[in-house]
């Protein structure tokens, strides 16, 4: 199991070394999606996503991780 996890981490590391700014771009996209969801009518799922700011929080976390990984690579 640990060799599979190690291989997965190695593949992710190699991919992010090729595209170091990708996590930050995805994070900006998630923040923009959250902004659009706030503007939509409060349908059941959309209303819950807008109230919890799920995509905003995921975007900020992914952006911070992307900055840390981008600096390390």
Domain locations in the chain as residue ranges:
2-72
pLDDT tens digits along 24-55: 999 999 999 999 999 999 888 888 988 999 99
Q: 1: pLDDT confidence band, cut at 50, 70 and 90?
A: low
**Is the confidence at residue 21, as pLDDT, over 80?**
yes
At residue 2, the pLDDT reads 77
In this prediction the pTM is 0.81
Per DSSP, the chain holds a count of helices (H) and strands (E) of 4, 0
Q: 13: pLDDT confidence band, cut at 50, 70 and 90?
A: confident
On average, the pLDDT of the chain sits at: 90
């Amino acid at each position: 199991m640990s060799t599979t996890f190690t291989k997965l981490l190695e593949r992710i590391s190699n991919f992010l070394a090729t595209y170091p700014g990708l996590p930050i771009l995805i994070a900006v996209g998630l923040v923009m999606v959250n902004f659009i969801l706030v503007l939509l009518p409060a349908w059941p799922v959309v209303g819950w996503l807008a109230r919890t700011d799920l995509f905003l929080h995921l975007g900020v976390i992914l952006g911070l991780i992307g900055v840390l990984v981008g600096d390390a690579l």
